[in-house]
């Protein structure tokens, strides 16, 4: 297992270098530039050039890249042109919010999607099976922003059951040592703060988790159907094993491998796709901040956040590989 982890980490190095080159070239190919975004509309060419010089944008492109690569290795992404704060400080402040939202959305998708997919497979061809399949298709096709606005209008505005924006109520006093509000409330013994944070997470998590939920339902149904037709399942049934034992030890255990792959990919997509959800619910996470950085041509912020999200993708894939080994002994043997 240690060799597998080391090999995956070594393979990640050229991937990260290639990504940094592509992203570095892409942000500089965008129309305009950070210097033009920072000066007033009627600024002279000399003023724009002075700003470019102060930012180091007048140096050869390869020197700019090497300086950027050196900063990345030191986990120093420079200073945000929007907030005038170090990009690393912005990451520490905003990534916990997005991670908490993405994990909540995935928990919602798994808790509902796996049982529905399994039940649809066990009732293959029934009316409920067709209903679950049709519902999953609808869930995939509904845009995230439309679902977010719909949930917000019904449950927050009309019914008033849940908060409309933010991560917490300003009237709730709490400490945040980790930045994960639900966890912070538990660690500090402030259960009221944890419950308040959960309430603020419910609607964004449901909106963000709708598409993964639909995908997990369909994938669970398909994999369970495949496993149920295997010889070892029929042998277990012929031996008189209980349905629970067959389902837990033979069906679901073997159906988990493709499901784990989908969960890993979807979790990475959730981390990088929170822009619309965070914007609708004014959730102070990575997505809304990076969207603002794109409009402001904030090179340091864009480059830093893209690299960190790529590293998180690699970590998720590594966790998926490790999970394979624990689920399937054949992977450990190979």
- Return the domain boundaries, the chain: 2-73, 88-333
88-333 placed in CATH 2.30.31.10: no
Tell me the CB-side half-sphere exposure of residue 48, using CA atoms within 13 A: 12
pLDDT digits (tens, 9 = 90+) for 100-153: 888 899 899 889 888 888 888 877 778 877 887 788 877 778 888 888 888 888
Q: Taking the CA of residue 170 as centre, how many other CA atoms within 13 Å lie in the half-sphere pointing to its CB?
A: 1
The pLDDT score that the predictor gives to residue 36 is 62
pLDDT band at 169 (very low <50, low <70, confident <90, very high): confident
Residue 296 vs residue 162, higher pLDDT: 162
**303 burial class (0-12, 13-18, 19+ CB within 10 angstroms)?**
buried
Which of 182-186, 190-194, 321-325 is predicted least confidently?
321-325
pTM confidence score: 0.78
User: Could you tell me where the DSSP H helices lie in the chain?
Assistant: 2-29, 34-38, 45-55, 61-73, 87-122, 127-141, 144-151, 181-187, 191-228, 231-238, 243-245, 252-272, 275-280, 286-295, 299-327, 329-333
Q: Using 50, 70 and 90 to split pLDDT, how confident is the model at 33? A: low
Position 34 confidence tier, pLDDT thresholds 50, 70, 90 = low
**Interatomic CA distance for residues 3 and 28, integer angstroms:** 38
Tens of pLDDT along 170-180? 777 777 788 88
pLDDT digits (tens, 9 = 90+) for 64-110: 788 778 777 777 777 777 777 888 888 888 888 888 888 899 899 88
Please name the residues in contact with 77: beta carbons below 8 A apart, sequence gap of 6 or more: 71, 86, 87, 88, 91, 300, 301, 303, 304, 307
């Amino acid at each position: 297992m240690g060799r597998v982890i080391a090999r995956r980490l070594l393979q990640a190095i050229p991937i990260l270098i290639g990504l940094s080159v592509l992203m570095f070239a892409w942000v500089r190919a965008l129309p305009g530039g950070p210097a033009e975004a920072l000066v007033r509309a009627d600024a002279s060419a000399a003023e724009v050039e002075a700003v470019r010089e102060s930012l180091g944008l007048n140096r050869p492109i390869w020197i700019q890249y090497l300086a950027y690569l050196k900063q990345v290795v030191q986990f120093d992404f420079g200073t945000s042109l929007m907030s005038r704060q170090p990009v690393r400080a912005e990451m520490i402040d905003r990534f916990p919010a997005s991670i908490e939202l993405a994990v909540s959305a995935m928990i919602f998708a798994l808790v509902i999607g796996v049982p529905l997919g399994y039940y649809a497979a066990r009732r293959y061809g029934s009316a409920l099976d067709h209903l679950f399949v049709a519902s999953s298709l609808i869930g995939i096709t509904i845009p995230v922003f439309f679902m977010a606005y719909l949930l917000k209008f019904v449950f927050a505005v009309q019914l008033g059951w849940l908060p409309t924006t933010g991560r917490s109520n300003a009237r709730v006093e709490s400490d945040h040592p980790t930045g994960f509000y639900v966890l912070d409330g538990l660690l500090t013994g402030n259960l009221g703060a944890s419950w308040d944070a959960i309430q603020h997470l419910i609607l964004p998590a449901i909106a963000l988790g709708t598409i993964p939920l639909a995908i997990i339902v369909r994938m669970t149904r398909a994999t369970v159907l495949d496993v149920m037709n295997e010889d070892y399942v029929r042998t277990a049934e012929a031996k008189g094993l209980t349905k629970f034992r067959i389902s837990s030890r033979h069906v679901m255990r073997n159906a988990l491998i493709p499901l784990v792959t989908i969960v890993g990919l979807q979790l990475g997509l959730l981390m990088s796709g929170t822009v619309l959800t965070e914007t609708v619910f004014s959730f102070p996470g990575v997505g809304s901040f990076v969207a603002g950085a794109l409009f402001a041509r904030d090179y340091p912020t864009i480059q830093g956040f893209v690299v960190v999200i790529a590293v998180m993708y690699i970590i998720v894939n590594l966790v998926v590989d490790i999970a394979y080994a624990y689920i399937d002994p054949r992977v450990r043997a190979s």
